[in-house]
Amino acid sequence: MTHDMLTALRPLLLAEASAEAHAAGTEPGDLEQAVWLRLLERLEADGPPHDPHGWVRKAVRSEARRTRRTISIERPYGLEPADDSERGPEQIVLAAARRRALREAVRRLPGRCPRLLEALLSPRDLTYREIAGELGISQGSLGPERSRCLGCLRRLLAPEVAAREVRG
């Protein structure tokens, strides 16, 4: 019975939510979802409404009013703390210095490591197959070689990173 009622109410709810959403400043899907939630709460507490179609119309309008009130009192943040899309000059310079230090450390690595890590860091976003072809090594040995090179890089950078930390 409940499933049939929900199936029968869906087209009405879609139409009502679409009609009210724009004026409420929300998306029809958000309004629809809020009404479905209220209906489920109602079914759990009091059972199905006596006039389901009338209840849906009233619930949509009520949710639209609630959304309008909420939107009218909410204030957007000026800038999200985690939003670093607008980095200042200091952050840009520090990021460039970190990239430069990494590239210099990569060049000091032994053997094939500089070429391998440069290929991995390449803006061309090469695949393992392309990197293996470029370096003339098998694709299967690329992973272990990469791990060895990254270990060397860690050991090379460890004194520089540790020296920059504030101690005490």
Give tens-digit pLDDT for 61-115.
999 999 888 887 877 666 555 555 667 888 888 888 888 988 899 999 999 899 9
Provide the pLDDT for residue 121.
85
Concatenated DSSP letters of 100-147: HHHHHHHHTS-TTHHHHHHHHT-TT---HHHHHHHHTS-GGGHHHHHH
Instruction: For residue 42, give the DSSP letter.
Output: H
pTM beyond 0.95, yes or no: no
Please tell me whether residues 149 and 107 are part of one structural domain: yes
Q: pLDDT tens-digit profile of 130-166?
A: 898 888 888 888 889 999 999 999 888 877 665 555 5
CB 24 within 8 A of CB 64: yes
- Mean pLDDT score across all residues of the chain: 85
Confidence check: pLDDT of 17 > 80: yes
Of the ranges 2-6, 21-25, 51-55, which one carries the lowest mean pLDDT score?
Answer: 2-6
Concatenated DSSP letters of 32-90: HHHHHHHHHHHHHHT-S-SSHHHHHHHHHHHHHHHHHHHHHH----SS-TT--SS--HH
What is the count of structural domains for the chain?
2
What CATH code is carried by the domain that includes residue 126? 1.10.10.10
Residues whose CB falls within 8 Å of the CB of residue 149, separated by 6 or more in sequence, listed in order: 109, 112, 113, 116, 117
Identity of residue 112: R
Provide the pLDDT for residue 19.
92
Provide the pLDDT for residue 143.
87
Please tell me whether residues 94 and 66 are part of one structural domain: no
Provide the pLDDT for residue 164.
53
Is residue 79 assigned to a domain?
no
Provide the pLDDT for residue 157.
83
Distance in angstroms (rounded) separating the CA atoms of residues 23 and 54: 20
Distance in angstroms (rounded) separating the CA atoms of residues 57 and 35: 10
Please tell me whether residues 52 and 96 are part of one structural domain: no
Pick from 41, 73, 105: which residue ends a domain? 73
Q: Which residues constitute the domain of residue 146?
A: 89-164
Pick from 47, 73, 99: which residue ends a domain? 73
Is residue 78 assigned to a domain?
no
Distance in angstroms (rounded) separating the CA atoms of residues 57 and 51: 10
Helix (H), strand (E) counts: the chain: 7, 0
Provide the pLDDT for residue 55.
94
